Amino acid sequence: MTDRLSVVYVVDDDQDIRSSLSRALGQRGFDVRPYDSAAEFLDGYDAETAGCVVLDYGMPGMNGLELQAELNRRGSPLAIIFITGHGGVPESVQAMKGGAVDFLEKPFRQPVLVERIEAALEIAEDRHAAMAQQREILARLARLTAREEELVEMMMANPAEVSSKELGNQLGISPRTIDHHRARILEKLEVRSLVELVDLVKRVEGAGPMLP
């Protein structure tokens, strides 16, 4: 899988760790991007590309857990593998609670790491794809006018009573006009039926404020 575009970020304050991991992962064809602190990473990471972060748990300044929290706050789909020299059960529990995909105690063998990275990247790519789709759906939703958006919300709120007549009564406009709006909505959202519309909207419901 050398043609992959997946990025592996290495965030560790230890120079030796960074260089050895960069070398090892580079050899295996990963796009390795090392950072010596959480702050630097936040400045430099590519939010558009799927990838994973090999993150040192205990760092001066913002530590691994804090960085994880920040990424979660930003809605990043990056998958995180913690590596730690402390290696305690409490630390790993906290990390996993925060959504980390893996937790490795230092030192570790490279095949293990590569195996975990590949698994993480798969997760990251799935997340990335899902996010891209959501973003596309949202882009479609963004085409709607205010009236159309209102109608979508009403249809989502009560999918059982969505006849044009009922909607027209609720909004005080004619069923014909409703029918016209509905046709425009299906067109704009690129769906063919009300069922597809509901499915589409549901896929983006609950997603955070992901739009740039």
> Which residues contact other proteins by CB under 8 A?
14, 16-17, 19-21, 23-24, 27-28, 58, 60-61, 83, 85-88, 90, 105-111, 113
> Whole-number minimum distance, CB 103 to other proteins, in Å?
14
Query: Which residue lies nearer to other proteins by CB, 85 or 99?
Result: 85
Q: Which two tokens stand for residue 1?
A: 């899988």
DSSP character string of 137-189: HHHHHTTS-HHHHHHHHHHHH-TTS--HHHHHHHHTS-HHHHHHHHHHHHHHT
Q: Which two tokens stand for residue 71?
A: 């990424």
Query: Which residue lies nearer to other proteins by CB, 113 or 155?
Result: 113
Separation between Cα atoms, residue 76 and residue 94, nearest integer Å: 19
Query: Which residue lies nearer to other proteins by CB, 17 or 152?
Result: 17
**Residue by residue, what is the 3-state secondary structure of 77-141?**
CCEEEEEECCCCHHHHHHHHHCCCCEEEECCCCHHHHHHHHHHHHHHHHHHHHHHHHHHHHHHHH
CB 181 within 8 A of CB 151: yes
> Whole-number minimum distance, CB 106 to other proteins, in Å?
4
Query: Which residue lies nearer to other proteins by CB, 88 or 159?
Result: 88
Query: Which residue lies nearer to other proteins by CB, 57 or 77?
Result: 57
> Whole-number minimum distance, CB 113 to other proteins, in Å?
8
Instruction: Give, in degrees to the nearest 5, the angle at Cα 204 between 200 and 208.
Output: 170
Residues β-bridged to residue 84: 105
